[in-house]
Each structure stands twice: as C-alpha cells, then as structure tokens.
Structure 1
Amino acid sequence: MGTSVPTAPDATANLADVLPSCLVALGAADDAWLRSAGLEARITLRPARSAIVVLVDGLGAGALSARTGHARWLASGKKKLRSGFPTTTAAALSTLTTGRSPGTHGVVGYSGWNPDTGKVMNLLSGWDDEVPADWFLVRTLFSEAPALGVDPVVVGPARYRSSGMTANVLGGARYVSADSIAQRVDAALAETASGRSLVYLYVPELDSIGHKHGWQSDRWTAALELLDGELARLERALSGDVGVVVTADHGVLDVPDHANIALDPLLLTDVVGVAGDPRCRQLTVAPGTDVRGLVGAFRARYGKKAHVASRDEAIAAGWFGPVSDAVVPRIGDIVLVARGSWAFNDDRSLRDGEQPKRMIGQHGAMTDDETLVPLRLAGAFAD
C-alpha cells in the first residue's frame, strides 16, 4: 500500500509474563513447564512462598512519573513494563491472566466483532448476555495453579464477584470481596499469611476517575495518594517470604475536546461494525468492499492523526501478538489507531442538536502514555 505501519516489540516483557514469572518464583513452575505450556517468564523475581499481584487499572508509567511527589512509594520503583495492545482493560486483563496475547486468547478489544452473529459485542461488560460461552479460547493460569500446588485468589470489589467477565477472565480463582482499597490490602495480607498462594488484587478506582475527570485532575491525584499509602502499608505488613508485583493494565492520556473527532460518515458507508475504543477503532466492512482502497481513503483523510492498517497488515506487524485462525475474523478489516491525543468517535446515531458524551481520560492506542506501565517489586521480590 506504500505506507508502512509500526511493528509491535516481540522480545519485550509485558503483562503476559507477570503470572508465569510469579509461578516460577514460587517454585511451582520451571522452564520445562513453561515450554510445554507455550509461556514465557521474562521478569526475574527472587524466590518466595506466596505472591501478591496488584493490578492498578489505568496507571501509566508516564502519569506516575508526573506525580512522583504524590506517590513516593510507587515512584521509588524505576522499572517499567509494556502492557500489550490494544491498551484496553478487557484485552489486557485477559493477557495477564492467561499469559497469552489477544490474538491467542481471543479478546481483541473493548468490544469486538462476532463473525457468527454479524454484530459488535461489548467484551468488558457483555459477558453475561452478549458474549458466547466459548468465546474465551484458553484457560487462565488461575485454572492451572491448583495442579501446581498454588492457591489462586482474586481480591476485588463485591460488584464484580458474579460477573460473566470474572467467571471467564478470572476463572479458576477463589473470589474474595473487598470494596475499599484498604480492605483489599487487608484481605491480601490474610490470604498470604500461610500456605502457598497467588493473589490478584484489583484496583479499579484510578481508571474510573481518569475517564470522568482526567488523570491530571485533583481527584485522580488524591486517589493515587491514597493507593500509594495503602501499598506502602502492604509492604510493611507482609511476611518476609511474600513477594509483591505492582503493575497496570494500561496507561491513560487526557483527550481535549478538539481532539475528539467524529468519523466521516462517508468513510463509514461500507462499514457494518465499529468496534474497539475511540483510540483504537476496528472496522468490519461489508463483503465485497475494497479494503485496500478504503484503508487508503482513511489514511488520506486522517493523515498523521492515526495509524491505519488492514487486518492483514496489523497481524503481520504483530499488533495482536500471534493470531490463531479462530481469532482472525474477530479483528476488524481495518484497524484505526490514534496517534498523539486524538480519538475517533462514531456519532451517526446522535439526533440533531444532541451533544455527544466524551470521556476525558482515554486509552487503547500505542503511545508510550498508554503502553508503558509501572513494575514495582516489593517484599520478597524487592531488588
């Protein structure tokens, strides 16, 4: 097509490495097991009896670096991790819990195209009524853990306990409900007081505040300060043989009003499904559409505001990691990835005079603000 697309780094540790690396550190897995399972453990961790993995939804390394004075404990760790692509919660958490790429586990975005029904499904909140029972294509590492002698535990808000996403993406773990960050820290400490456990502690607060108010808001900073204090308390109260990994599923950037673009309706004439996030659109087109020509039209229209790739180009560039045959038709025929702070919205359903609702904090694309997340090691894992 004459225009190249960026390639994804394939030799860099990312979210897929976190749980396998913890299992190795707990003495539950070795190189032979990793090879047989097709997994990698590229994060070197000291030996430990149990591990706590704290996943802070929406905490980018760049945002943390800009707020070091408000998060001294978190910021004292200098390591970073790549989250993977797309930088959206449904895909990233699935990568974390399976140790595999979106192209393998099948959750390719915030929402995705179902080739069997010809509809776009919400892959974050739609597991109870939209997503087919066999959509998730691999077992979680929580499901594998008991056979390795490890007790898998998820600590999170009660509202997520019985959700379809929890049953699939966190499947195999025992769920412990704890609504405040402090209560979750206490629960994680209790679960690692004895035995050999792998505890996943989920922190959704920063992401929800960031979407509504932006990461540069006072509310986001206050939530970061509270989290930082609780994680410092977690480290102080740990048993000496318990390791802690703190990371995030993705970062976030604030999108100004002028950077929220309504997609040109003429370019969407042959598009039958608009999936993904505003910063990572996946467009499925009607059979017979000239995909090559439409990719060129999108490139001409949006220029340096976006990377535009056909599905074949995105797969060849490694954007979704290794892609299985079953996952190929779930990816849009055209993938539109925002550059800078732009976002692409489908406003065709708005009534005349209706003002669209936009999020301030957004993610999904490939910028460093979105892909680079902290990797803070503590307890038995401390450097």
Structure 2
Amino acid sequence: MAVFPQPLVLPDYGRGAVSDVVPALCARLGVRGAKDVLDLPAGQRWVLLLIDGLGDELLAEHEEVAPFLAGLRGRTLTAGTPSTTVTSLTSLGTGLAPGAHGMAGYSFRIDGTDVLNALLWDTPRSATDLQPEPTWFERARESVAVTSVSPARFEGSGLTLSALRGADFVGIRDESDTDGWIKAVVDASTKGDRSLVYAYERALDHIGHGAGVASEDWRGVLAGIDERASRLRAALPDDVQLLITADHGMIDVPGRNFVLLEDEGLAADLRCFAGEGRLRHFYTDHPDAVAARWADRMGDHAWVRTRAEAIDEGWFGPVNDRVRDRFGDVIVAMRTDWAVMSRTLPRELDIIGMHGSLTPVEMYVPLLLS
C-alpha cells in the first residue's frame, strides 16, 4: 500500500522537543540553570523511561495492545533531525538541538573525510572530544542522585559517553529479566534526598527494524513493554514520578521502494555519504548540482535541501561552526515510504522498519506521566 507524501514536521526545539525533557526534570529537581518548558508537576524523585521507537502515532494505532501506555497519552513532543536514536539520545542528555551537540545521525562525517558509525564508534577519537558539551546528568549529580539503568553492553560506549555521561551506570545483563530490571530502577529511585533515574528500553526498536511495525511480532513486543511499564509503576514508591517518552517513531519501507545509489547513477559528484535510508547526508563539492539531480529523481518522495537551506528552515536548530560539516552538503529526507540505500551497506538492505526523516509518524513521540 502506497504512502502519500507526508507533511514536513519541523522540530519544536525549546518548546516541546525531546531535547527539552531532561532540562525540565532538572528544573523540578532544583538544578541550577535548568528550565521547564513542559510544565511538569512538582517532584523530588523521577524515573525517565525512554522506549526506543515508540512513536506517538504508532501508540495511537495500537492502543488495544498497550492499555497502560495508551491510558497516559496526552502531550506529544517532536524528535530532532534526524529522527534517530544517536541524535535523540544526545539531545535528551545534553538538552541541546543537534546543531549544537553535533551528533548528526546514525552515521556522519567527521574531520572532513571519515564517516563515523556512532553505534559502532569506529574512530579513535574519544566521546568527550567529539561531543564536548556537558550533559544535564553531569550538571545534576552534585545535588541529585543520578542513575542510568541500561543494557550492560552499553557501559562506556562512545554513544553512552557522548549522550548520557554523568549518571551512575547500572548495567542489565539479561534484558528479558523484568524483575531484575524493575528492582534496579526502584532501588535507584530511592537514593539520596532527590533522584533522577534514566531507564532505556530498546526491544521495540529492534523488532521494528527486523519485522516491521505492521507485524504481529511488533505488536507482541509492544504488549510486553506495556506490561513491564505498568509493573514498574506499581513497584515504584508513591513519591516517585514516572515520565515516559521515546526518541522517534518508525515506518515500514518495502524493498521495492529502495532507491539504490549504484543502480541509479546518483553517486556522481559525491565524496561520501552517511545517515540512514530515511535521511541521507551527501558530502560534495557541488551541492547545487547534486541537490538538483536528487530533487529531479525523487520528486514528491523526498525533501531535498542543501545544508544551508535545512539550517535556515530550522531542521537542526542553531548550528555551531565546530560541527557544521557533519551535516550533509545535501540532505535527502523521505516524504513517503521510500528509502535511499546502497549496495555498499548490504546489512541495511534487510531492514523493514526505518526512521530518520521529518514525517509525522517518525517525528512525533509521546510524553506520558504516571
């Protein structure tokens, strides 16, 4: 079934974006310099649960399998651009738009030549060198007990240190152990006089990439996460507020809708490319020619912008000169259920559920309070 061209959703930085969540929590916890633009209630103990891939439109479409989460639906936030985990988690932790922290996607160019995969962290550069902006967890820890409860394999990773450094890390070795996960979150929530716990849930994103958001497998995982979140709320002390959000939504892309760089001859004039199928960064010495070529090929299936145009439209927020070149000279973002792929990245050709662009299903995420 074809997906008609979708409206462009610009990030709502400073008013209602993922980057506004942790500063708002820190404001409620009395951390100096923090501002609450989300109008959260008072509270001295908070658990922030981030469910990777839980778009607001997806939750609305599947309320019957997620009654606890659906019952909390209220305000929505926007992701940043790109609407992807690397960028959103760094915005969450730093409270900054991508143009300030510079984590420009799943992959992006650094040092003018190399392309960094931010999940694999295939660079000798340290996280604090590549992303030196302080996190709100670092700022809060002087007066608040700050804990991150996440899969153990992420401890000390480049992304963890870029986005979430400053929190005491509690690693979960068996992600299927709901009882152990709940105990870790509850224990952390009772530390000190004031507490902030960040808890990360990744199963929904994982199954979405592999099976798609239209699959029964995806619905089954959502039901399991809903039960886990409900059990967590029941186990938390009454004085602990539970805030739930996400980093992006997701859309299924059938393989017949892949535009392959090599087959189309669209790699001409490119030094390199990065990003992901739903939003590609193209690095070139000829941005106008490349943008015109891609706009002609993609038509209504994509928004094609030069870097300057995307910045002027507010895709990334104000962009620091230190990180400007990490964003593509040309950016191609999908409007329909299409994706730009490459035979040089064969593992990506098996992905069904994708994200990264500025469509409503990818950009809107829920803000749930219990």
The question of a shared fold, defined as TM-score above 0.5 by the shorter chain, is answered with yes
- Please name the residue that 2:158 is paired with: 164
- The match for 2:60 among 56, 65, 85 is 65
- The RMSD of aligned alpha carbons is 2.0
The equivalent position to 2:328 in structure 1, one of 327, 332, 353, is 332
- Deviation per residue, 1:291-312 (Å, 9 max, x gap): 2122112111110010000011
Residues in 2 aligned to 1:61 and 1:8: alpha-carbon distance in whole angstroms: 15
Contact 2:14 2:37 in 1 (8 A): no
Q: Is the 8 A contact 1:128 1:163 kept in 2?
A: no
Query: Kindly, what percent of the aligned residue pairs are identical?
Result: 35
1:96 to 87, 92, 105: 92
Is 1:262 matched with 2:255? no
Aligned-partner SS, 2:88: helix
Aligned partners of 1:248 and 1:6: how far apart in 2? 16
Unmatched tracts of structure 2, length 5 or more:
1-7
Q: Distance in 1 between matches of 2:123 and 2:161?
A: 10
**Distance in 2 between the 1:355 and 1:162 partners?**
25
Per-residue deviation, 1:6: 7.5
* Cα distance in 1 for residues equivalent to 2:232 and 2:9: 40
Tell me how many residue pairs correspond in the alignment.
357
CA contact 1:89–1:124 (8 Å) conserved in 2: no
Determine if the alignment matches structure 1 residue 207 to structure 2 residue 205: yes
Give the counterpart of 2:182 among 175, 185, 198: 185
2:19 to 16, 19, 22: 16
CA–CA distance in structure 1, aligned partners of residues 62 and 369 of structure 2: 19
Q: 1:279 to 1:136 in 2, by over 3 A?
A: same
| Match in the other structure for 1:232 | 230
The DSSP-based 3-state class of the residue aligned with 1:24 is helix
1:121–1:131 Cα contact (<8 Å) kept? no
Shift of 1:314: 0.7
In structure 2, what is the equivalent of residue 26 of structure 1?
29
| Whole-angstrom distance in 2 between the partners of 1:126 and 1:82 | 26
Q: Which amino acid aligns with 1:297?
A: R
Note the C-alpha offset of 1:265.
Answer: 4.7
Which of 167, 173, 178 pairs up with 1:173? 167
2:275 maps to: 276
2:315 to 301, 315, 319: 319
Matches within 5 A, 1:22-171: 22-29=25-32, 33-34=33-34, 40-79=35-74, 80-116=76-112, 118-126=113-121, 129=124, 134-147=129-142, 149-171=143-165
Please say if residues 299 and 308 of structure 1, whose CA atoms lie closer than 8 Å, have aligned partners that are also in contact: yes
CA distance in 1 between counterparts of 2:19 and 2:89 reads 9
Q: So what's the TM-score if we normalise by structure 1?
A: 0.88
Cα distance in 1 for partners of 2:364, 2:116 equals 27
* 1:141, distance to aligned residue in structure 2 (A): 0.9
Partners of 1:339 and 1:212 lie apart in 2 by 22
Higher mean C-alpha deviation, range 254-263 or range 85-94: 254-263
Instruction: Tell me whether 214-223 or 67-76 shows the greater mean CA deviation.
Output: 214-223
Distance 1:8 1:161, change over 3 A: closer
Q: CA contact under 8 A between 1:54 and 1:247: conserved in structure 2? A: yes
Instruction: Render the CA deviation track for 1:184-238: whole Å, top value 9, x for unaligned.
Output: 2221111112421110000011111110011122221111111111111121222
CA contact (8 A) 2:9 2:360 kept: no
Q: For residues 110-165 of structure 1, what are the alpha-carbon distances to aligned partners after superposition, in whole Å with 9 as ceiling and x for unaligned? A: 1011134x121112221664666511030111111123x11111001111123222
The one-letter amino acid of 1:269's match is: A
Moved over 6 A (4+): none
Q: Say if 1:58 and 1:251, in contact at 8 Å, map to a contact too.
A: yes
Instruction: Extract unaligned runs of 5+ from structure 1.
Output: 35-39, 379-383
Query: What is the one-letter code of the residue matched to 2:221?
Result: A
The one-letter code of the counterpart of 1:360 is I
Tell me, what secondary structure is at the counterpart of 2:147?
A: strand
Tell me, in whole angstroms, the C-alpha distance in 1 between the residues paired with 2:301 and 2:15: 26
Opposite residue 19 of structure 1, the aligned amino acid is: V
- Structure 1 Cα separation of the partners of residues 31 and 15 of structure 2: 23
| Structure 1 residues 303-318: aligned runs within 5 Å | 303-318=299-314
